A and B are shown apart, each in its own frame.
Chain A
Amino acid sequence: DTEVTQTPKHLVMGMTNKKSLKCEQHMGHRAMYWYKQKAKKPPELMFVYSYEKLSINESVPSRFSPECPNSSLLNLHLHALQPEDSALYLCASRLIAGVPSYEQYFGPGTRLTVT
């Protein structure tokens, strides 16, 4: 299994809603990432988890709350978002063990629209 899966594929939410994005991988990768991508722009790193511990928070507003319940799962909890938060949210994972390999495997993303 060489896949990173993300659910849902599309999400429309109001500014007062609470929702969660889910990411899953079964490749034994111990680093997982959340990115935000606007159209025709590169992915912007939001959070990095290494061995289920948060290692990087790129000054992301607190209305985004990441969670890594186990080595296969990564969640992004959303609350009180703004319309400018509408974007494609990408999850990625990377193998840490053994010979360092820094390539990241990306999921298909969740297209988020905030109304």
Chain B
Amino acid sequence: AQSVSQHNHHVILSEAASLELGCNYSYGGTVNLFWYVQYPGQHLQLLLKYFSGDPLVKGIKGFEAEFIKSKFSFNLRKPSVQWSDTAEYFCAVKGSGNTGKLIFGQGTTLQVKP
């Protein structure tokens, strides 16, 4: 069965620090990968996605992620975080089949100190 693993459960950074959140997935054919963010009290929003092509994907709010097939990884990065980036971050992979089922990682809580 496909699975997603996020290694960092809780990350605390100061503003302007660089961010990298790890995400590894189990192989399951064609890979469709996502990072979603959930700000406090708000709904899940798509940060970025990878389907094919350039393995370096740029998303909203200055985030980017790199798909490394050999490592089964899709790590999220941001060069300089802001206090407003405090949120829960979920990595997800599309499950097998055509229902579009998403398999989520356990999430990483990011706390940015002003």
Contact = CB atoms under 8 A, between A and B. Distances in A.
Interface of A: 31, 33, 40-43, 45, 48, 50, 55-56, 90, 92, 94, 96, 100, 102-109
A102 B103 CA distance: 12
Q: Among B43, B98, B107, find the residue whose CB has the most chain A CB atoms closer than 10 A.
A: B43
Contacts of B88: 40
A45 B102 CA distance: 8
A106 B34 contact: no
Nearest to B91: A42
B28 to A, nearest CB: 13
Contacts of A103: 34, 46, 49
B12 interface: no
Interface residues of B, number: 23
Contact of B99 (A41, A56, A92, A107): A56
Contacts of A96: 100
Given A40-B109, A41-B106, A42-B106, A50 B43 contact: no
Given A103-B34, A106-B44, A43 B49 contact: no
B43 A45 contact: no
A105 B44 CA distance: 8
A53 B70 CA distance: 38
B43 A108 contact: yes
Nearest to B109: A40
A90 B32 CA distance: 21
Given A31-B100, A50-B99, A102-B94, A42 B46 contact: no
Nearest to A92: B44
B12 to A, nearest CB: 15
A109 B45 CA distance: 12
A109 B38 CA distance: 12
A106 B45 contact: yes
Contacts of A45: 101-102
4 tightest CB-CB pairs across the interface, nearest first? A42-B104, A106-B44, A108-B43, A102-B94
Nearest to B9: A40
A80 to B, nearest CB: 27
- A41, A102, A105, A109, most chain B CB atoms within 10 A: A102
